[in-house]
């Protein structure tokens, strides 16, 4: 199956295509801003635009109702909105990159074992050290995600199939299955670990403060910078290793930098939110449909689409079971599973 199965051929000349892509990026930014404002207003207690404005910018006063509004906006809704944007960008960009580096149209960041590595590290840390705060175990989650990515990449870099995208996918699947089994074994042996895993594995942007968000954002920013430096090279890699090598690309170095960038972004996002499946897969395909195969445009589109989709799913989760809420990861999975099935069916249909 080839990623070209979902690409839309560009129409018009280069100038027209570039103008269309710039307009598309600007439109996504505006949509993201609108959805962000809606995210601040929607919840168990609905707020008007004026109340949101007061919660963000007004000086403290003695009015109890306005004080409550300010508390809701500043301590609950702003952090979860910021985290949804940051994590959405990271997972969207990571999904686009992993599909590019593996040349696999159904690849997701979980392919590197990031999700399973984070899960295993969380339950192990809770079982061994009795951790209870997200600020405490988020670092173990990130460490587990990073180590899993390094192990997968290391296994894929040795032997006869070294550097082959298929080898990377097989190594990732093997590590994912192994760590999932180990996670289950640890969780079943410790009640606190099992309870924490059940909550964390749902994938949520709620309940996390800026003490976690800012450090996670720093890791994501580093990964994003690394990713952006590799986009022209990634275009050449997708022409085939032999062609890229003939054009002077250091394939091993490029893949190493790319995998490090993906691990930093996906690992940090997973550590803060828990595993959110299908997001990177979905937005990468939508971005490819909108921009074509040029990763210099595809990756920014995927990042913005990831932020918009995760925010929208979080908002939907707050509305469908009010006054309770569904975790954003659950809503993303409900949307992503049919998307994945349709993608596979479409690929089979085209290859028939």
> Which residue did the predictor score with more confidence, 206 or 12?
206
For residues 192 and 200, what is the distance between their CA atoms, to the nearest angstrom?
Answer: 12
pLDDT, mean of residues 125-149: 82
pLDDT, mean of residues 68-86: 91
Q: What is the pTM for the complete model shown? A: 0.87
Query: 70, 273 in Cβ contact below 8 A?
Result: no
Residue 344 has pLDDT above 90, yes or no: no
Q: What is the pLDDT of residue 284?
A: 94
Q: What is the DSSP letter of 207?
A: S
For residues 86 and 83, what is the distance between their CA atoms, to the nearest angstrom?
Answer: 5
Q: What is the pLDDT of residue 349?
A: 44
Q: What is the pLDDT of residue 92?
A: 96
Residue 172 has pLDDT above 90, yes or no: no
> Which residue did the predictor score with more confidence, 94 or 54?
94
pLDDT, mean of residues 298-310: 96
Q: What is the pLDDT of residue 238?
A: 86
> Which residue did the predictor score with more confidence, 123 or 295?
295
By the 10 Å C-beta count (0-12 exposed, 13-18 middle, 19+ buried), 129 is classed as exposed
Q: Output the six-digit token pair for 181.
A: 């089994």
pLDDT, mean of residues 256-274: 89
For residues 33 and 39, what is the distance between their CA atoms, to the nearest angstrom?
Answer: 10
Q: What is the pLDDT of residue 351?
A: 44
Q: How far is CA 26 from CA 10, 14, 23, 305, in A?
A: 19, 18, 5, 12
For the segment 178-195, what is each residue's pLDDT rounded down to a tens digit? 998 998 888 888 777 777
Closest by Cα among 138, 171, 97, 127 to 267:
138
Is the preceding omega at residue 323 within 30 degrees of 0, hence cis? yes
Query: 189, 119 in Cβ contact below 8 A?
Result: no
Spans of all domains in the chain: 94-278
DSSP-assigned letters across all residues of 215-278? HHHHHHHHHHHHHHHTHHHHHHHTT-HHHHHHTT--HHHHHHHHHHHHHHHHHHHHHHH----S
Q: Output the six-digit token pair for 294.
A: 């040029």
For residues 170 and 271, what is the distance between their CA atoms, to the nearest angstrom?
Answer: 24
* CA neighbours closer than 13 Å in the CB half-sphere of residue 73: 25
Answer yes or no: CATH 3.40.50.2300 is held by domain 94-278: no
pLDDT, mean of residues 58-76: 79
Q: Output the six-digit token pair for 1.
A: 């199956």
> Which ranges of the chain would DSSP assign to H, the alpha helix?
14-41, 49-57, 64-72, 78-102, 114-129, 134-156, 165-189, 191-200, 210-229, 231-237, 241-246, 251-273, 279-291, 295-320, 328-351
For residues 302 and 38, what is the distance between their CA atoms, to the nearest angstrom?
Answer: 21
Q: How far is CA 259 from CA 187, 213, 266, 282, in A?
A: 29, 22, 10, 20
Q: What is the pLDDT of residue 297?
A: 95
């Amino acid at each position: 199956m080839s990623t070209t199965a979902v690409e839309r051929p560009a129409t018009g000349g280069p100038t027209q295509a570039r103008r269309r892509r710039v307009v598309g990026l600007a439109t996504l930014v505006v949509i993201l801003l609108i959805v962000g404002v809606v995210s601040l207003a929607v919840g168990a207690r609905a707020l008007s635009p004026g109340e949101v404005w007061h919660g963000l910018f007004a000086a403290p006063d003695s009015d109890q109702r306005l004080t409550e509004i300010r508390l809701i906006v500043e301590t609950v809704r702003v952090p979860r909105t910021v985290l949804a944007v940051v994590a959405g960008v990271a997972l969207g960009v990571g999904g686009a990159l992993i599909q590019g580096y593996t040349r696999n149209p159904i690849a997701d960041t979980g392919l590197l074992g990031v999700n399973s590595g984070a899960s295993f590290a969380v339950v192990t840390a809770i079982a061994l050290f009795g951790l209870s705060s997200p600020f405490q175990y988020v670092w173990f989650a990130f460490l587990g995600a990073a180590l899993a990515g390094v192990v997968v990449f290391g296994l894929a870099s040795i032997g006869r199939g070294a550097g082959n995208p298929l080898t990377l996918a097989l190594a990732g699947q093997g590590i994912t299955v192994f760590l999932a089994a180990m996670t289950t074994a640890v969780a079943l042996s410790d009640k606190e670990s099992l309870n924490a895993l059940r909550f964390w594995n749902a994938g949520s942007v709620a309940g996390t403060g800026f003490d976690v968000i800012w450090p996670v954002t720093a890791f994501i920013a580093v990964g994003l910078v690394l990713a952006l430096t590799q986009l022209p090279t990634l275009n050449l890699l997708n022409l085939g290793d032999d062609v890229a090598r003939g054009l002077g690309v250091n394939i091993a170095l490029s893949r190493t930098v790319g995998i490090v960038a993906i691990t930093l972004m996906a690992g940090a996002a997973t550590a803060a939110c828990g595993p959110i499946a299908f997001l990177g897969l979905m937005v990468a395909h939508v971005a490819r449909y909108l921009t074509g195969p040029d990763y210099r445009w595809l990756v920014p589109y995927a990042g913005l689409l990831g932020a918009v989709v995760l925010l929208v799913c979080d908002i939907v989760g707050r509305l469908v079971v009010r006054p309770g809420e569904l975790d954003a990861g659950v809503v993303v999975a409900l949307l992503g599973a049919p998307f994945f099935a349709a993608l596979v069916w479409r690929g089979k249909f085209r290859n028939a």
